[in-house]
């Protein structure tokens, strides 16, 4: 298994948590920390003093983004997080990492509450790097509602974008976008490339793709996922 479908991703997560006994919080921490490392390299190896915007949804992809925010902030970056979904939808590991940002005093903007989504692009244009942590591999079909506006605003900002796992709006399996999708300069994907990344036009959205470790035995968990037909 050299690339992962949407179902494969779910099975890899299940195998890591249920068969290898690695808590989801550890997987999220490792994913976010390694994405932060990639972001630091993208910022010429030194994020100190650089302005980084984390645009995050309320799911696990957003949780990865919160970890990125924490680690880049610890390295001296001026990080601001823009939560683009309702705060009450946060749960589990994502909520724990969100609460950690609050405890650290990092700046968090609740754009869904204050109506700032429509003007988000203007705000993001003042940053050195935008991190897309809105939606992950589970998205299929065209984006709807505020997600459409968020992606449009990210692309309109005119700043380099680092996508977490997959650009929001790009289909994991087909590598196609049924409507809008984030256009990233760099995609930090986890465990293995995603099946859709091999599509002819996918690079338009992913930019350069780098595969990051999440603290599991890659061959072991891929073999387990393949064995169970994920």
Give the model's pLDDT for residue 2.
77
Q: What is the pLDDT of residue 228?
A: 53
Q: Give the containing element (helix H, strand E) for 187.
A: strand 186-190
Tokens representing 213 are 């470790």
**Cα–Cα distance for residue pair 194/202, rounded to 1 Å:** 11
How far apart, in whole angstroms, are the C-alpha atoms of residue 9 and residue 7? 5
The model's pLDDT over 131-164, given as tens digits with 9 standing for 90+, comes to: 999 999 999 999 999 999 999 999 999 999 999 9
State residue 230's pLDDT score. 44
Residues of the chain with pLDDT under 70: 1, 113-114, 224-230
Residue range of the domain that includes 221: 3-227
| The pLDDT value given to residue 71 | 98
Question: d(Cα 56, Cα 83) in Å, to the nearest integer?
Answer: 5
Position 224 scores a pLDDT of 67
With a CB cutoff of 8 Å and minimum separation 6, the contacts of 40 are: 46, 47, 72, 75
Residue 120 in contact with residue 153, Cβ under 8 Å? yes
Residue given tokens 């309702």 in the structure block = 86
Cβ(83)–Cβ(56) under 8 Å? yes
Best CA proximity match to 79, nearest among 110, 113, 104, 111: 104
Number of domains making up the chain: 1
Looking at residue 174, which CATH number applies to its domain?
Answer: 3.40.50.10260
């Amino acid at each position: 298994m050299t690339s992962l479908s949407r179902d494969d991703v779910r099975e890899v997560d299940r195998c890591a948590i249920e068969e290898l006994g690695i808590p989801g919080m550890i997987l999220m921490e490792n994913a976010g920390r390694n994405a932060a490392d990639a972001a630091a390299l993208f910022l010429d190896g030194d994020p100190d003093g650089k302005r980084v915007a984390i645009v995050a949804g309320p799911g696990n992809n957003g949780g990865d983004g919160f970890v990125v925010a924490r680690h880049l902030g610890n390295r001296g970056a001026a990080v601001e997080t823009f939560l683009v979904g309702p705060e009450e939808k946060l749960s589990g590991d994502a909520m724990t990492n969100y609460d950690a940002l609050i405890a650290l005093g990092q700046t968090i903007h609740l754009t869904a509450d204050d109506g700032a989504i429509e003007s988000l692009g203007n705000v993001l244009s003042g940053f050195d790097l935008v991190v897309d942590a809105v939606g992950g591999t589970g998205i299929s079909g065209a984006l709807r509602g505020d997600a459409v506006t968020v992606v449009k605003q990210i692309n309109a900002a005119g700043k380099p974008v680092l996508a977490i796992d997959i650009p929001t709006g790009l289909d994991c399996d087909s590598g196609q976008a049924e409507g809008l999708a984030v256009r990233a300069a760099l995609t930090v994907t986890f465990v293995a490339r995603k099946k859709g990344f091999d599509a002819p036009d996918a690079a338009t959205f992913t930019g350069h793709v780098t595969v990051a470790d999440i603290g599991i035995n890659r061959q072991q968990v891929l073999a387990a996922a393949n064995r169970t037909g994920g």
